[in-house]
A and B are shown apart, each in its own frame.
Chain A
Amino acid sequence: MTRWRGAVMHELSLCRSLLRQILEVAEQHRVLAVTVVRLQVGPLSGVEPELLKTAFPLAAAGTLAESAKLNLTATCIEVYCGSCKKRSRAASNQLSCTSCGSCSTQLVSGDELILESVELTLDELSAIKCP
């Protein structure tokens, strides 16, 4: 099997669970459409942003989110070094401390895959319902 086939499938199944979460929110409101979906994607999340963008419309077709814009923010990789008690920026395959070179660092950020927020168009009734 090729990496491509696997990778696309991976992003597609992630988009499906993403849509489940979005549509759950949409159901709680009287939503006409989901217009924007904001995600935070870390370089170490295991997700290819480009493939996510390709997969999203496929998964969203026929749902309230079908014309939603997928807004991806790439987060930075940061590590914390226990020896020099410092946080530093790092690259995905170079996670050691930039100050002292220690390899026993902890990842502070960079592996997240987070649904940050959604923007919705509500219909009139729901807007009035807001107390």
Chain B
Amino acid sequence: MCVDCGCGKPPGISGPQETASISLLQNLHQQNQDLAAHNREHFSSAGTLVLNLMSSPGAGKTALLEATLRTLQKHYRCAVLEGDLETELDAQRIRALDIPVVQITTGSACHLDAQLVHNALHGMDLAEIDLLFIENVGNLVCPASFDLGQHLNVVLLSVTEGDDKPAKYPVMFRTADLLVISKLDLLPHVGDFRIDRAENFLRALASPAPIISLSARSGAGLDEWLAWLHAHKAQSPVDEARVVENGGAG
């Protein structure tokens, strides 16, 4: 049998049009996953906790970041990576808060990938950043399949989108380490969004992710979200690794 290609053909049989079947079993996302793992190493060795924010367009990712960073910047050195199809508008909103922000304009690409994030890292000094928020392109489909090297995925679902979205976009909602139900102030106006139904749909995806309902507008629920962030920052593997290191040295 051909040892070069494993084509299974007995040796010596030749013709002008030889065919071969080659078994490959390669993961199509492998290249992105390898690069994402590489990014994660960068983040972890710098002690930066990285969160990937995903949602449909307009669910309130930037508004949540604005509301969050106002408080959070008193405790941590924060930075933001903004993924956007066409504009710098979101980056400008974050910059107005005096938070370092790197804009990734994806042009026609519908999602960030590990390569785009890696390129953007050259524009920031991770050693100076405790918490990095990546705002992904508003899209409930594509970003779900691309690991960026983040530590945690936060998926937002605004009450105006309907409580059935976890059932309709299982690939996205399965990735969530936290589900944020956003625009809670609009709940009375929408009327038929039920948080318990959204939760049932999420649990049907075998997801144990906690759910936090909040409003970036009114501030309701923000304390719980901030507490979740603090808790993850405190127990991130990064910090544990450091504690172990220090323990070993002392």
- Check B204–A3 contact: CB distance below 8 A: no
- Check B208–A114 contact: CB distance below 8 A: no
A residues within 8 A CB of B22?
25, 29, 117-120
| Residue from the list A6, A29, A79, A124 in contact with B206, Cβ < 8 A | A79
- Check A131–B3 contact: CB distance below 8 A: yes
The answer to the question of A103 belonging to the interface, with a C-beta cut-off of 8 Å to chain B, is yes
- Check A6–B142 contact: CB distance below 8 A: yes
- Check B206–A96 contact: CB distance below 8 A: yes
CA distance A94 to B206 in the complex (A): 8
| Residue from the list B13, B16, B168, B174 in contact with A123, Cβ < 8 A | B16
- Check A128–B20 contact: CB distance below 8 A: no
The answer to the question of B235 belonging to the interface, with a C-beta cut-off of 8 Å to chain A, is no
Whether A127 contacts B24 in the complex (CB less than 8 A), given A9-B108, A103-B206, comes out as no
Total number of A residues with any Cβ neighbor in B under 8 Å: 54
Considering only residues 90-117 of chain A, those with a C-beta below 8 Å from chain B are 92-96, 103-107, 111-117
B residues within 8 A CB of A119?
19-22
- Check A29–B27 contact: CB distance below 8 A: no
Q: Which residue of B lies closest to A127 (CB)?
A: B18
B residues within 8 A CB of A120?
19-22
- Check A130–B4 contact: CB distance below 8 A: yes
A residues within 8 A CB of B26?
21, 114-115
The answer to the question of A76 belonging to the interface, with a C-beta cut-off of 8 Å to chain B, is no
The answer to the question of B246 belonging to the interface, with a C-beta cut-off of 8 Å to chain A, is no
The answer to the question of A75 belonging to the interface, with a C-beta cut-off of 8 Å to chain B, is no
Chain B nearest CB from A28 CB (Å) reads 7
The answer to the question of A44 belonging to the interface, with a C-beta cut-off of 8 Å to chain B, is yes
A residues within 8 A CB of B142?
6-7, 9-10, 46
Residues of A within 8 A of B (CB): 1, 3, 5-7, 9-10, 13-14, 17-18, 21, 25, 28-29, 32, 35-36, 39, 44-47, 79, 92-96, 103-107, 111-124, 126-131
